[in-house]
Structure 1
Amino acid sequence: MKTILFCLLATFLWFPIESFGQNDLLDQLLTEDDTAPQNVTGTFKGTRIINGHAVETREKGVLDFIISHRFGRINGGAYQFFGLDQSSVRLGLEYGVLDRLNVGIGRSSFQKVFDGYIKYRLLTQKAPGGAMPVSVVWFSNIAINSLKIPGVERDFSDRLASTSQLLIARKFNENLSLQISPTYVRRNSPPLASELQNTFALGFGGRHKITPRTSINMEYFHRFDTPSNNIYHNSLSLGVDIETGGHVFQLHLTNSQAMTETMFIPETTGNFFGGDIHFGFNVSRTFQVRRH
């Protein structure tokens, strides 16, 4: 009898100790998992800040269909319906070949430009702990200006232009994200004889969330090699993003009518502070066309 009582007592004493040890170990593992650095997502709502690309990339097998519009200048007055009588459109497709690698193509009615590009994610911001404080994405595109100018013959190479960018962004908290974009644009045949073939610029972009599904955005590209007699201006844009499930609507005001980097960075003719402002929007719709 004493032996039975001893065994029962030992069993009851061992059970809570063992259970406590298992729970303590599980709690420790969960705590370690919670504090392990995780990839930061949602730095921006879409793959564009406004005109320029953001560090966001689509996952493998995801197709993004982007419709972009830029209307005429608001200071055109009531006769031009404040710019709405004129419209330029770009249709684009972007696809996630890999989680880190995206490719895209597009066609703009403005200057009848065809463009293609690649984006490759080099680094992804991680938190907590700041193991990797920023996300870094490489972007390269090539554009072909197919516009026919009466009396002007241009070789195919003269119609080519390309852009290379390093997109560097940090999501500081749930509300604020900032990005800088060192940029190089090469145009084989600039539209003005006084223009340089090589353009260096630095882009600045930011997003501040105002509700769970809306944010305000800003974007600016500063050129470092603008000749004194240049008619062009730095690109400046302000906008609002609205997320509605599978769609992202981006409404903005910008002094740039072109929608490809090879044009809006070196060839923006509007003066934002002089009233040369275009209303525009981007609509993005994503489709899962291939499972992992």
Structure 2
Amino acid sequence: MKQSYRFFISSIMLLGMSWQAIMAQEDNLIGLLGEETEKEQVVNAFKSPRVVNSHSIEMLGAGALDFRILHRFGKISDGFYNLFGLDNASMRMSFDYGISSNLSIGIGRSTNRKEMDGFAKYRLLSQTRGSKPIPISLVLVGGAAYNGLRAPFSNPEIEPTFKRRLAYYTQLIIGRKFNEKISLQLAPTWLHRNIVEQQQIDNDLMAIELGARYKLVKRVALIIDYSYILNPPFPNSGHNPLSIGFDIDTGGHVFQLHFSNAVGMNERALLSEANGDWLNGDIQFGFNLSRVFQLKKIKKADQLVH
């Protein structure tokens, strides 16, 4: 466990030092060339505030409401009897709102464990190009999930109080759009569950999330969403959550088709539940649908953001 903490902290320190080195190199290059250009914010690293399940570095614009439906079918390995998983399904429905161009909040409800969740998301730093460019974006996210099952614990002796039903998470997303085709992000993540039913399982889990996007054609991109859990709750079973799919931008909304070994669609479920094995066909086909409604007029200061 101590090694996991050390690796987690070392990863954050390494990312910080790398950022400083990149900034110094780019500042020196501009000085040598004698260039003085106006700063321009880099946008559309990802086409959605979510990669697949995980948050991305993208933010909603001020006054924008994102209505999102995440749909995940059953396991392909279930075979023809369950139509390769299509007979079974789980879903998460959510509403996210942009309070400003740098601050968003959201709520969601999953059929899995009848779980309610909410989050707040704040952009600390935006990637820019031009004079003294900023090479990365930094986004801080914090959220909580509430288990809504009538009997949330298998042990009947555990009283299902409100506090014991809760789990919390925090993550710092570090991302960069390298060019018009490639965007990458890393997100050190900490998850705390108020109660676990087995003493050998930690209440706290730590992970590094990797998000990637590669633009294939004008409106279609390949997306990858993967989390490496540093101290997995199931040492001998379960796998790290991996989702691979496609972003399809129709203009009015973003449509995602993907395959995933994770049934859960929020941070608590992704990191603490026993995900399937890709090699054994324990994967689910799914789709995400996002429709953004602009509820108030966009100010000029926010037009560059989204």
Do they superpose with TM above 0.5?
yes
Secondary structure (helix, strand or coil) at the match of 2:77 reads helix
Secondary structure (helix, strand or coil) at the match of 1:215 reads strand
Listed one character per residue, the Cα deviations across residues 104-130 of structure 1 (whole Å, up to 9, x for unaligned) are: 000001110000100000000001456
**Aligned counterparts of 2:183 and 2:248: Cα–Cα separation in 1:** 16
| Structure 1, unpaired ranges of 5+ | 1-31
30, 48, 52: which one aligns with 2:54: 52
* Residues 1:277 and 2:279 aligned together: no
Moved more, 227-236 or 159-168: 227-236
**Aligned counterparts of 2:265 and 2:213: Cα–Cα separation in 1:** 20
* Residues 1:207 and 2:208 aligned together: no
**Aligned counterparts of 2:197 and 2:189: Cα–Cα separation in 1:** 20
**Aligned counterparts of 2:275 and 2:40: Cα–Cα separation in 1:** 43
Q: 1:198 to 1:59 in 2, by over 3 A?
A: same
Q: CA RMSD in A?
A: 1.9
**Aligned counterparts of 1:204 and 1:280: Cα–Cα separation in 2:** 20
Using the TM superposition, give the Cα deviation of residue 212 of structure 1 relative to its aligned residue in structure 2, in angstroms. Answer: 1.1
* Residues 1:175 and 2:177 aligned together: no
Q: What letter is aligned with 2:263? A: Q
- Residue 270 of structure 2 corresponds to 264
* Residues 1:286 and 2:292 aligned together: yes
Q: 1:228 to 1:250 in 2, by over 3 A?
A: closer
**Aligned counterparts of 1:70 and 1:228: Cα–Cα separation in 2:** 23
Using the TM superposition, give the Cα deviation of residue 266 of structure 1 relative to its aligned residue in structure 2, in angstroms. Answer: 2.2
Secondary structure (helix, strand or coil) at the match of 1:35 reads coil
Q: What letter is aligned with 1:52? A: S
Question: Is 1:141–1:163's contact at 8 Å kept on the other side of the alignment?
Answer: yes
Q: What letter is aligned with 1:250? A: Q
Moved more, 211-220 or 266-275: 266-275
* Residues 1:235 and 2:237 aligned together: no
* Residues 1:141 and 2:143 aligned together: yes
Q: What letter is aligned with 1:262? A: R
Question: Is 2:65–2:96's contact at 8 Å kept on the other side of the alignment?
Answer: yes
Secondary structure (helix, strand or coil) at the match of 2:81 reads helix
- Residue 155 of structure 1 corresponds to 161
Question: Is 1:186–1:198's contact at 8 Å kept on the other side of the alignment?
Answer: yes
Moved more, 238-247 or 32-41: 32-41
Q: What letter is aligned with 1:289? A: L
**Aligned counterparts of 1:130 and 1:283: Cα–Cα separation in 2:** 37
57, 60, 63: which one aligns with 1:61: 63
Q: 1:84 to 1:133 in 2, by over 3 A?
A: same
Secondary structure (helix, strand or coil) at the match of 1:143 reads strand
Using the TM superposition, give the Cα deviation of residue 281 of structure 1 relative to its aligned residue in structure 2, in angstroms. Answer: 1.0
**Aligned counterparts of 1:217 and 1:130: Cα–Cα separation in 2:** 30
Identity in percent: 42
Q: 1:148 to 1:290 in 2, by over 3 A?
A: same
Question: Is 1:136–1:168's contact at 8 Å kept on the other side of the alignment?
Answer: yes
**Aligned counterparts of 1:92 and 1:265: Cα–Cα separation in 2:** 19
- Residue 22 of structure 2 corresponds to none
Q: Find the structure with the greater CA-based Rg.
A: 1
- Residue 218 of structure 1 corresponds to 224
Q: What letter is aligned with 2:261? A: N
Listed as ranges, the matches of 1:38-49 within 5 Å are: 38-49=40-51
Q: How high is the TM-score relative to the length of structure 1? A: 0.85
Q: What letter is aligned with 1:190? A: V
* Residues 1:245 and 2:251 aligned together: yes
Q: 1:130 to 1:232 in 2, by over 3 A?
A: farther
Question: Is 1:258–1:268's contact at 8 Å kept on the other side of the alignment?
Answer: no
Using the TM superposition, give the Cα deviation of residue 148 of structure 1 relative to its aligned residue in structure 2, in angstroms. Answer: 2.1
**Aligned counterparts of 1:100 and 1:228: Cα–Cα separation in 2:** 37
Q: 1:78 to 1:140 in 2, by over 3 A?
A: same
Using the TM superposition, give the Cα deviation of residue 246 of structure 1 relative to its aligned residue in structure 2, in angstroms. Answer: 1.9
Using the TM superposition, give the Cα deviation of residue 131 of structure 1 relative to its aligned residue in structure 2, in angstroms. Answer: 1.5
Using the TM superposition, give the Cα deviation of residue 191 of structure 1 relative to its aligned residue in structure 2, in angstroms. Answer: 5.0
Using the TM superposition, give the Cα deviation of residue 194 of structure 1 relative to its aligned residue in structure 2, in angstroms. Answer: 3.0
Secondary structure (helix, strand or coil) at the match of 1:51 reads coil
